Structure 1
Amino acid sequence: MCGICGTAGFADTELLNRMVRLMAHRGPDDRGVFVTSDRMFGLGNCRLSIIDLSSAGHMPMRNEDETVWITYNGEIYNFHSIRTELQKLGHSFRSQADTEVLIHGYEEWGVRLLERLNGMFGLALVDLRKKPARLLLARDRFGIKPVYYTLAGDRLVYASEIKAILLAPGIARDVDLNALHRYLAFLWVPGPETLFKGIYKLPPGHYLEWSQREYSLHCYWNLRFPPASANGKRAERDLSVELLEILRRAVKRHLISDVPVGVFLSGGLDSSTILALAAELTNEPVKSYTITYRPEDGFLEQSDADRVFARLAARRLGANHHEIEVNPDIVDLLPKVVWHLDEPVADPAAISTYLICREGRPEVKVLLSGQGADEVFAGYRLHWTHRLASILERIPRPLRQAFARFPLGAMPGISRWLPGVRPGLILAVHRYWDKLLAGVDIDPERRYIFYRSYYTDDQEFAMYTPQLRQALPGALAGDRHLAYFRDVPDANFLDRMLYVDVKTFLTELNLTYCDKLSSAASVEVRVPFLDSEVVDFMSRMPPQMKLHGLKSKYIFRRAVEGVVPPEIVQRRKAAFGAPIRSWLRRDLHAMVDDLLSERTLRQRGYFEPAVVRSMVEQDRRGEGDHTMRLWALLTLELWHKTFIDSARGSLEAAPCSASVF
């Protein structure tokens, strides 16, 4: 893991050094910059040494005659086989780093190299052999590693983090209001836009070429599924056996490292599978890490069973287990998290990711994560909720509405009076059924968007000030999702949902916060379930092998039977989050009242204060669960103060709470 940055059309050594220093948390082991002799290109890198810890892995790295230069962030898991192939073709290597494989691979195959890579990466490569010279920016298939860019006239500026781009002269800090509309709906901004107007994410599976002050964007890979009419012929047993062997190979590749590697362990199916396979492949007990919060903090959440199942998995699989109970000072921590995220991502799992990486960093530089499994194997509740909604369509609407009013409507009020039942679980059941019933009559594609969102467009417009409504005529938060559905019109609807998951929820939410907050602790997180071989195999898997009736991850569960403890194979999915309901009502009470006050909201000019205050009061009285909406508004205001209101120089240090509000 590293941080990359650079410019095209101009080069300023001091600017590059400032950009690199700003991202030093991404790579504290080494740093460097390079500027071409004509000052048309500049490259910067801060390095977290994982493969080849020697100075031979220094970046920016060059080829033998200094005509190809690269700055790179990530890991290529098949670099050994590519290196062997290149050596047979006559290439010589000075290091053991996968970075050098990219240089020689580019010399041999050009941009076709990207199709061969199994890994995670964001890279910038300057080719001085071509006349005129050109810059290549590229991002891995799923966007595990970030690349942001902007054009300032005929100049290009790019980096692993937006805050580094903002250091460049002439970069405006304006809010993209359409992106704001989408952020409120989903808690994150669908790409390629960011919340900064004019700053973009390089789409996953794409590369950008810049030459002679012009650029073009190209797709080198896309996820594909067979048509819905296709019929898989292979036996279930054969598929599960082959899948297990593919998973073993994927985990083995992801264990390649010259530094210690550990495993995130939630006690769920995904992380426990990685631990089980890693334990098979290593000679020493695998270090596993579980983060927990105090029981009293999680009272309003649906479950705190992670510690129980994580202990079970670690004990059965012989792990060197670390259970970390935390009670963070969230008032001080939240502004820091927002600074590291660059743009608001209102998922509390970001905080848990940072805390577990921070606690694990003294012992390991690399952690394996189960992220991506839900998108690859069909593990989200949303996937079978669609089927359940299709069944409920057959029930007359008046009966459904009566159920929504009572007993469903009475659940929040009685939750505290049910002995032995967590109030958080009752609230979660109420949220689920309320949302499920509200979406039954919507067409499937828009139903998917409705279940993924926290507001409808109409609800957002009701919260906006007249000025913001006027600036967003006809805005549709889900327009990107609908476009992605159109990309795969012939696939089974489950596969179509998985496609949209990969393009949106996986890349823009889960992988984004995971990269930013693990990097904040100088830890590299790897995701074996997004290994190319795993994804390619599962993309051909018949849909009924992924979702069997209402049983999620069906073939995955069958594959790991006998490898993972049976209690975990059958465990229901539990979210990886944080006790934000307790935080909002207790620790962050004063911050909410300040940053979401009538005075602050009127000065900002986006939202009607009365609407926001009503949500705050309903949430505090237990009359409605607006937790995620309020977390999104709080995160947005902190982001605005940090990146839009602050002076340029203030970006060069992570804020403490006192300097933010």
Structure 2
Amino acid sequence: MCRIAGLVNPQNTGNESAKVKAMCDALQHGGPDDEGLYVSKDNSVIFGHRRLSIIDLSANGHQPMADSVAEVIISFNGEIYNYPELKHELKLLGAVFTNNTDTEVILQAYLHWNVSAFGRLRGMFAFALHDVKTNEVYLVRDSAGIKPLYYNIQNSQLAFASEVKAFKAAGISTQGNANWPVYLLAYGHIPEPHTTLQNVYSLPKSHYLRWQKNGSYTINAYRVNTETAPVNSKELAQEGIVQALNTAIKRQLIADAPIGVFLSGGIDSSLITLLANEQIEQLQTVSIFFNEKQYDERTYQQAVLEKISGKNYTHLVQQQEFERFFPAVLQAMDMPTTDGINSWFISKYAREAGLKTVLSGLGGDELFGGYPSFHRIKYLEYLKKLPAAALSLFSLAASAGYKKISYLANNGLNADYLALRGIFSINEIAAFTGTSSIHIKDILFADSMPDKTPYDKLKAARLEGGLYMKNQLLRDTDMMSMQHGLEVRVPFLDEDFTAFTESINPEIRFAAAPKQLLIDSFKNLLPAAVWQRKKMGFTFPLQQWMAANKDISAVENYRGALAKQKIKEFKTGKLHWSRAFALFQVQGHV
């Protein structure tokens, strides 16, 4: 895993290479082991790279990398887990390899299969390819959107980078996106494709951008090559889940650098830990605990640790650590978010333990119905039958939960999502930002189209996986882990595992209690204490800690009567910390 950046068809001002170097310098935290620069013969393509070496730690993994005859150049961020199988297949086709990296496999896959190669990759990736013969450039992003990739197109020039801050650092795009506070106050994050900078966008997952030498470009979807028949039997579903998840974990344990697992004590991380323990000796795990008993998961962590061999690195996190490192957490955010603090801390401790890559349980809730939204989604169907005017009146409710219902007066999946997970209502955002509710609606829903799919658990899965996980959990996990030079792998999002899970009849996949199918598939492995416990997300005592933080809780840091009122409510425990944190980033900090 690494960080990448580049310029294509750059304007000849004489400092293009320096700009790419500046972008890479801003990304050094994500690639501390090595750096490289590629400049094409005609100076029209410049790729930069910062390396975090995981597979083939030798100098052979230096990037940007060319194939054996320099027909294609790549700057690659991520891991290709099925590269040994692809390498074998490509050798039979006559491909010549000069090193043991997965990077070279991408080069040969493109040379032999062109753009159809993208759908054959299993992994997490964002990369840029320069086809020297055609002088075309491709930007490619993985099917789950695990690895970030941003681009900017201005004056017939394409710029790209792994983080938004790189564009600003190089002076490529410095104008702020005036709408980002609206997005943050509505979503708690900046939803794709938007960013905090004007004309800088996120490349969609499962897509590639093709840039031609004349400066024209297209953005196309690619198809992931997974073929699964419908699964209508619980027994077959459980067998398939066991097989596919074991395969995913086996793939993702490939590394030439120290590897471990995040162990929180929840079902997903416990399961990943126990399955990984069956495949490698002396598994290393990283855990966090708190003095605040309602957040302390040591009992469940210990139930798992008693079943595995290896070393557990456990850390007590207290208010004083939060206060000490909070400025560093804010600085690590590539874009404002109400999530990621937990990922920053546990990634810090994992790296200090000597690990360079870890497995995470992220994705299990989204695939198997682990969130309250999977139950609540059915109520949206009844609410949507009300006239839009009636739905808008919910914005006047006292309860934050009822206020969110007013989002249903608008069309589209985003409105459904905000009704379930929104931070503030449209009227509140208008008051915070000093504009009108109509203007806020235009920003959030100008391009929204009605969504006619049923309000069932499949729609909840689309909302949680396609919006919450993609826009917030994956992005924040990547940013916060890479801030410490740590790679986080997510076996639940393995392409084949995801495809199999989505082929299961929804009545089986979401039957009974939340995640029951996943639990039943591994009931003989998971400790009863883990799967019988009440669900609790991997979170910190932030309600107390942020209330005690003098910057967040200082009413004088905020502008406007409503913002000051909300912070007063927060200090008395009547406002959730995520809402206060969003306001802080919009008004108190930024």
Q: Same fold (TM over 0.5)?
A: yes
The answer as to 2:508 corresponding to 1:541 is no
Aligned to 2:4: 4
Decide whether the 8 Å contact of 2:68 with 2:96 is kept in 1: no
Decide whether the 8 Å contact of 1:151 with 1:157 is kept in 2: yes
Aligned to 2:236: 238
Aligned to 1:620: 571
**1:632-657 Cα deviation digits (max 9, x unpaired):** 121234763xxxxxxxxxxxxxxxxx
Aligned to 1:111: 115
Aligned to 1:597: 557
1:196 partner SS? coil
The alpha carbon displacement at 1:458 in A equals 2.5
Whichever residue aligns with residue 100 of structure 1, its letter is E
Whichever residue aligns with residue 451 of structure 1, its letter is L
Task: State which of 69, 75, 82 in structure 1 corresponds to 2:73.
Answer: 69
* Distance of aligned partners of 1:431 and 1:185 in 2 relative to their CA distance in 1, 3 Å threshold: closer
Q: Matched residues in 2 for 1:209 and 1:35: separation?
A: 19
1:197 partner SS? coil
The alpha carbon displacement at 1:90 in A equals 0.4
Q: Matched residues in 1 for 2:81 and 2:542: separation?
A: 37
The answer as to 2:270 corresponding to 1:279 is no
Give 5+ residue unaligned stretches, structure 1.
395-408, 410-429, 602-608, 641-661
1:625 partner SS? coil
Task: State which of 40, 43, 61 in structure 2 corresponds to 1:39.
Answer: 43
**1:515-553 Cα deviation digits (max 9, x unpaired):** 00100111100000000111100111111222224x111
1:334 partner SS? helix
- Name the stretch that deviates more: 55-64 or 189-198: 189-198
Aligned to 2:174: 172
Q: How many residues align?
A: 570
Aligned to 1:398: none
Q: Matched residues in 2 for 1:443 and 1:216: separation?
A: 28
Decide whether the 8 Å contact of 2:240 with 2:500 is kept in 1: no
Q: Matched residues in 1 for 2:454 and 2:157: separation?
A: 41
Aligned to 2:199: 198
**1:551-589 Cα deviation digits (max 9, x unpaired):** 111211111110111221222321112222122221x22
Q: TM-score if structure 2 supplies the norm length?
A: 0.90
Whichever residue aligns with residue 334 of structure 1, its letter is F
**1:571-622 Cα deviation digits (max 9, x unpaired):** 2321112222122221x2245427x625xx3xxxxxxx11111011122123
Aligned to 2:514: 552
Decide whether the 8 Å contact of 1:33 with 1:43 is kept in 2: yes
Aligned to 1:459: 428
Q: Matched residues in 2 for 1:206 and 1:54: separation?
A: 31
2:514 partner SS? coil
Aligned to 2:255: 257
Aligned to 2:390: none
* Distance of aligned partners of 1:15 and 1:232 in 2 relative to their CA distance in 1, 3 Å threshold: closer
Q: Residues 44-59 of structure 1: matches in 2 within 5 Å?
A: 44-59=48-63
The answer as to 2:100 corresponding to 1:96 is yes
Q: Matched residues in 1 for 2:374 and 2:87: separation?
A: 40
Task: State which of 83, 86, 93 in structure 1 corresponds to 2:90.
Answer: 86
The answer as to 2:341 corresponding to 1:340 is no
1:460 partner SS? helix
Q: Residues 159-558 of structure 1: matches in 2 within 5 Å?
A: 159-177=161-179, 179-211=180-212, 212-221=214-223, 234-282=232-280, 284-295=281-292, 303-327=294-318, 328-347=320-339, 350-361=340-351, 362-387=353-378, 446-465=415-434, 468-469=435-436, 472=439, 474-475=441-442, 477=444, 486=451, 489=452, 493-549=456-512, 551-558=513-520
Decide whether the 8 Å contact of 1:176 with 1:194 is kept in 2: no
Decide whether the 8 Å contact of 2:33 with 2:51 is kept in 1: yes
- Percent identity reads 28
**1:260-305 Cα deviation digits (max 9, x unpaired):** 11110111110011011111111x221111112332xx7xxxx314
**1:469-501 Cα deviation digits (max 9, x unpaired):** 389264363677x65x84xx5577321221232
Aligned to 1:416: none
Q: TM-score if structure 1 supplies the norm length?
A: 0.80
2:533 partner SS? coil
**1:92-131 Cα deviation digits (max 9, x unpaired):** 111100000001111111111111011000100111111x
Q: Matched residues in 2 for 1:470 and 1:629: separation?
A: 19
* Distance of aligned partners of 1:501 and 1:57 in 2 relative to their CA distance in 1, 3 Å threshold: same
1:291 partner SS? strand
* Distance of aligned partners of 1:473 and 1:371 in 2 relative to their CA distance in 1, 3 Å threshold: closer
The alpha carbon displacement at 1:439 in A equals 9.5
2:211 partner SS? strand
Aligned to 2:394: none
**1:314-347 Cα deviation digits (max 9, x unpaired):** 1123342222112354345333223322110112
1:344 partner SS? coil
* Distance of aligned partners of 1:571 and 1:546 in 2 relative to their CA distance in 1, 3 Å threshold: farther
Q: Matched residues in 1 for 2:181 and 2:226: separation?
A: 30
Aligned to 2:393: none
Give 5+ residue unaligned stretches, structure 2.
386-397
Aligned to 2:561: 610
Task: State which of 520, 527, 545 in structure 2 corresponds to 1:583.
Answer: 545
